[in-house]
Copies of this chain bind each other. A is one copy, B any other.
Amino acid sequence: MAEQSSNTVWHHATVTRQRRESQNGHKAVVVWFTGLSGAGKSTLAHAVEEQLHQQGCRTVVLDGDNVRHGLCGDLGFSETDRSENLRRIGETSKLLVEAGVITLTAFISPTQADRQRVRSLMPHGNFLEIYCDCSVAVCESRDVKGLYAKARAGEITNFTGISAPYEPPKGANLTLHTGEESLQQSVSRVIELLQQRGIIPAKNSVTHSG
């Protein structure tokens, strides 16, 4: 038995990201949507995901729904906790990208510093920052979750756009005017960006090579 165990070789990872991407027929990347509450980040992420899935891509969406109650369930909304929340989302996105999955994230992520920090976690070119540019007025008129009303009433403090600042990205990879463009227009622009970057094939279907 000792003889057998001494034969055991230390196994490094042999299944690499490159092999996974080859199997999938597309590359992996983080598509990071940033913008005010109500700017349409989550809607857009899910709509882009639907189109990518139909084209044969491996995708996932991270947003408040699947992160705030799980991975980051121990965190609140202080500045420190919001920062740690985004750090963990960034690290998890990195693992998903390593697994070959196009990872679409939908978080307000209001500060340049936090977004830059997440970008710096990733290999160069693996973080696409998409600014969902939409005025407070339009976001507030939508107020899908009733959060703006609560923020105006003082029931929520540190609410981005009302009582806390939002720092628009400097040098986003794409800016979408989500208060003006139609959803389909925005989706098409994201898909085009992914094609231009060589993340997904330029044509409308993915060949399975794996």
Contact between A92 and B66 (Cβ–Cβ < 8 Å)? no
Contact between A50 and B14 (Cβ–Cβ < 8 Å)? yes
Q: How many residues of chain A have a CB within 8 Å of chain B? A: 63
A194 to B91 alpha-carbon distance, docked (Å): 28
Interface flag for A86 (CB, 8 Å): no
Tally of this chain's copies: 2
Q: Which one of A137-145, A154-162, A166-174 is at the B interface? A: A137-145
A8 to B132 alpha-carbon distance, docked (Å): 14
Q: Which residues of B contact A43 (CB under 8 A)?
A: 8-11
Q: Which residues of B contact A98 (CB under 8 A)?
A: 60, 66
Q: Quick one: which of A67, A101, A181 has the most chain B CB within 10 A?
A: A101
A20 to B53 alpha-carbon distance, docked (Å): 8
Contact between B121 and A50 (Cβ–Cβ < 8 Å)? no
Give chain A's interface residues, CB within 8 Å of chain B. 1-2, 4-15, 19-20, 23-24, 40, 42-44, 46-47, 49-50, 53, 56, 58-62, 66-67, 70-71, 73-74, 84, 88, 91-92, 94-96, 98-101, 121, 134, 138, 141-142, 144, 179-183, 208, 210
